[in-house]
Amino acid sequence: MNMKNNADLEKLRLHLANRLTALSKENPNLLITLNSNNYIDIDNVIFDYDNNDYKEFSKTLANVLKYIDFSNISFFGFKAAGVNLTGYHNITINPQTIAYKDLSNSVLNGVKFASRGYNKDLFEDVLLINTNFTGSVGARIIPETVRHLAGGKMDSVTFSSQNNGDMFKDCDLSYMDFTGSYGAIVNPQVIYEKSLKSTNLTDALLVRGANFDDCYVTGTTFSGQDISLNPQTLRNKIIEHCHFNGVEFIGNDEMFKDIRILDNDFTGSKNAIIDVNAIAGNYIEGNNFADTTILNLLNGKRSSLPSQTKHLKLEGASIVVQNQEEQEEIQNLYGLSSNTKFVSQKENDESYLNRVVDELIKSPLTRKLAK
């Protein structure tokens, strides 16, 4: 047989696939090392090559690649974009040498990143769009040197930068998940379009005094840091699917005026005041209002369909009522337990005034006048 002949090569691949399938039935943990010999270069067995000499896995071997130990296989010129490498063993990749320097839409679980003789930044000029690094080893990324960084799962990635305040300048952090990453420092004012749409900031740090003016915040998960946020300064008038743990809301009783809030979780937040009369449409469906203060709650029930308040969670919230009758009506309408926290309008007003005075005392001007 002529192993340079495509037909003969395909016969060999099919024979190899059948052999590995049979062996795997005897040993489910099968892992073998393939070696080149006088008859065939193993690269030609595992990979198909295009006209640019870039390579991709042979489709004939697709179901048995998980039984191969790739520690002796080169991925130089490998077309990694869009490939899921989960379950493959001992793959080492140098992003500088893969096809088109493109790791977009790749799942890199189990992959080790190593330079193998290259001293430069491994991810310099590499495309990282919706890349999933979960379970990979050795990914050290300097965002300002990447060709394009957008979205993706950054678990196992270590970030560094010469300018931490602008680490992600012009990077698209929409749909990016920082959970499990290290060293990420985010300045909302310099990222692409100031958008934190569906961004999970867990394990990322925000610059000191982070400013969210004109930022797009929806589907955002905050990570328990001390963050100040005024909803009235945001670009969007719909805030949905956010987790506000650690966020301190600033503003008056109408901080959510004309903003529609849907399916958010306020657990762990501070000073959020939800005036149902002020929010857009009076709709409150799907929110977990733990750690908030709620005003005019009855209007939310009366202006919403029963299905819209079905998933509303009020445990842990402070519900402001005018009198005992209003409290009882709210308890009946929402099916609340006797442990639900209710506060009178007078108590709420006093609490608000105390917060205002506390802020005044903290201000430099007040301290100066006091002297």
Residue 40 Rama label (left phi>0; alpha psi -120 to 50; beta):
beta
DSSP β-ladder status, 158-159 and 47-49: unpaired
pLDDT reported for residue 309 = 56
pLDDT reported for residue 21 = 96
Q: Average pLDDT of 83-109?
A: 97
Is residue 290 within 8 A of residue 317, CB to CB? The reply is yes
Phi and psi of 47, rounded to 5°? Answer: -115, 150
Query: pLDDT category, 320, cuts 50, 70, 90?
Result: very high
Residue showing tokens 């296989």: 73
Is residue 222 within 8 A of residue 272, CB to CB? The reply is no
Query: pLDDT category, 337, cuts 50, 70, 90?
Result: confident
159-168, 181-190, 297-306, 310-319, range with greatest mean pLDDT: 181-190
pLDDT reported for residue 143 = 95
Among 306, 265, 299, smallest CA distance to 280 is for 299
* CA 285 to chain CA mean position, Å: 24
pTM check: above 0.85: yes
- Please write the tens of the pLDDT for every residue from 122-143: 999 999 999 999 999 999 999 9
Would the pLDDT of 59 be above 90? yes
Would the pLDDT of 303 be above 60? no
Q: Domain residues of the chain, as ranges? A: 227-371
Is residue 40 within 8 A of residue 3, CB to CB? The reply is yes
Phi and psi of 263, rounded to 5°? Answer: 55, 40
Q: Average pLDDT of 211-235?
A: 93
Residues 6 or more apart from 84 whose CB is under 8 A from it? 106, 107
pLDDT reported for residue 361 = 74
Residue showing tokens 């929402």: 334
Tokens at 70, concatenated:
């790739």
